[in-house]
Structures are given as C-alpha cells and as structure tokens.
C-alpha cells in the first residue's frame, strides 16, 4: 500500500509554486507555467488518491485523464493568445496597459 505523505507533500509544493507563479509574475508565459503547475498538483493528488482504492476503474484515474486533456487544450489556447499579444504589443507583460502597444507602430 502506498503512503500518501509523499504525494501530498509533492502536490502541496507544486500548488504553492504554481500559485506564486500566477500571483507574482508579470510575464504571460510564466503565469501560464504557474497554471500548469497547479494542474499538475491536482493530477498528482488524483493519482495518489486513486491508487489507494481497490477498484481498478476508480474515478481518480479517469479524472486524471480529464485534467491532462483540459491542460493540453488550455496550453494551446493560452499560447495562441500570448503569441497574438506579443505580435500586437511587442512584449508579454500582463500588467501593461492594453493600448500601450499601439503607440509603437
């Protein structure tokens, strides 16, 4: 049987680092990495809790696949938005004003 202290500690570290990345960073790519860390923390928790049950088709494994799918779709959409933001403004600072890039054209 697996001890849950290790996965819970890993998930807490990942969630903490991800939350710090979302709240403290100004670069849109680093904010995106922070969101991915939080999703990875959720995945670690789902796998750890799913491995403790005796049922092979428990909800933890299915929800883990769902989280991975949502994370992949989120990365695609977010990177497309970041690319458009960079093309329009020349930087990916999320705290800059929306109209700041139009004066540089």
pLDDT in tens, 16-66: 999 999 999 888 888 889 999 999 999 998 888 887 776 666 677 788 888
Domain at 5-104, CATH from 1.10.260.40, 3.40.640.10, 3.30.70.141, 1.10.287.3510: 1.10.287.3510
pLDDT one-digit tens code per residue, 3-22: 889 999 999 999 999 999 99
pTM above 0.85, yes or no: no
SS (H, E, C) the chain: CCCCHHHHHHHHHHHHHHHHHHHHCCEHHHHHHHHHHHHHHHHHHHHHHHHHCCCCCCHHHHHHHHHHHHHHHHHHHHHHHHHHHHHHHCCCECCCCCCHHHHHC
């Amino acid at each position: 049987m697996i001890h849950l202290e290790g996965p819970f500690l890993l998930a807490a570290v990942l969630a903490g680092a991800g939350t710090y990345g979302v709240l403290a960073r100004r670069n849109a790519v680093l904010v995106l990495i922070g969101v991915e860390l939080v999703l990875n923390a959720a995945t670690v928790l789902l796998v750890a809790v799913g491995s403790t049950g005796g049922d092979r088709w428990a909800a933890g494994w299915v929800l883990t696949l769902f989280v991975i799918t949502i994370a992949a779709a989120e990365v695609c959409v977010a990177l497309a938005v970041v690319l458009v933001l960079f093309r329009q403004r020349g930087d990916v600072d999320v705290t800059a004003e929306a109209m700041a890039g139009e004066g540089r054209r």
